[in-house]
Amino acid sequence: MGHRPRDGRRRRVLHGQAVAASAGRLDRGEADPRLPPRGPLTVGAVRAPLHDRLALDELGGDRFRGAPEPGHRHVFGGLVVAQALAAACRTVGVDQHVHSLHATFVRTGRFDEPLDHHVERTRDGVSFATRRVVVRQPSADPVLVLTASFHGDEDGDDYQPPVELTGLPRPEDLPPGRYDGDVVDCRDVPPAGGPPHERHMWFRVRGDLGDDPLVHVLALAYASDNGPTRAAREPQAHLLDRASRQSLSLDHAVWFLRPTRADRWLLSTLRPVSTGRSRGLVHGTVHTADGVLVAAVTQEALQRLGPADDQAR
């Protein structure tokens, strides 16, 4: 897959199965002997399909290469976000945990070319660290620009608004949803009152992701791009049909509020807050099955009438 670095160092790594180098402790491109050898890796008791999607080849100089997903016309935005975040996490200390990401989708990614992630170490402070990742493909302009913020653990008050989930059907009682696939198990909750156009969806990443919290963060980043574009067009659903619209993610942000397991059922709640000028804005939350708020999501999506033009951005 692509060329190898001249020094021959190319290692298949997934952050969360190796101890990360502390930010700034290694020179750019310096080999880290703590990285696992290249080859098949297993997470937990059952190999998780997502695992192969997030594995990166380390190219040196804070550069990493990931593979697109097979069987898709375009690269799924959640995959690019999760891989870029995984690359950023490879450059911070083990005591720094991502608490937010902000991503701009510059163009649609090609399914037949690798994804190259170049990490910029923007800042390493006392409590916070910032990383910027530019994702490119060989024949295209940048696909994605992502900024991630990391924070060391600190004590503080804990608050979240109360949430009532008792009236919702359980995921075990629902059929597979529209976004169900080999990586994420999704179950749409039928609309039943509530705010206009609000949508609920149960989801979990398939397989056993193991116990490393970072792996679950990356899995949540991947899954967070399931649903917002559809939610953005809910207010205009009566005007749009699949043959006459272009719907694409433009900007995507996730706040990781509390640790969770992404291989257990989580509830996504999405609410369109604005549509206009061919764009729709969606706010969302992610709760555990017992009502703990673990993440917040915001996305702006393109909602253009007329036939799709993949490069018309």
Task: Give per-residue pLDDT as tens, 223-244.
Answer: 998 877 776 566 565 555 554 5
Average the pLDDT over each of 92-106, 173-187, 194-208 and give the range with the smallest value: 173-187
Q: What pLDDT score was predicted for residue 134?
A: 98
Residue-wise pLDDT tens digits, 70-85 = 766 788 999 999 999 9
Residues assigned a catalytic role: 225, 249, 299
In this structure, how many other beta carbons lie within 10 angstroms of the beta carbon of residue 12? 16
State whether CATH 3.40.710.10 applies to domain 171-305: no
Q: 3-class SS at 217?
A: helix
Query: Is residue 110's pLDDT more than 80?
Result: yes
Q: Model confidence at 164, in pLDDT bands (50, 70, 90)?
A: confident
Q: In this predicted model, which residue has the larger pLDDT, 148 or 29?
A: 148
Report the CATH fold assignment for 11-152.
Thiol Ester Dehydrase; Chain A (3.10.129)
Q: What pLDDT score was predicted for residue 232?
A: 58
3-class secondary structure for 258-279? CCCCCCCCEEEEEEEEEEECCE
Domain boundaries, the chain: 11-152, 171-305
Q: In this structure, are residues 132 and 120 in contact, taking their beta carbons and an 8 Å threshold?
A: yes
Query: Is residue 1's pLDDT more than 50?
Result: no
What is the rounded distance in angstroms from the CA atom of residue 58 to the CA atom of residue 61?
Answer: 9
Identical fold between 11-152 and 171-305: yes
Q: Which H or E run contains 251?
A: strand 245-256
Average the pLDDT over each of 75-79, 152-156, 306-310 and give the range with the smallest value: 306-310
Query: Is residue 291's pLDDT more than 90?
Result: yes
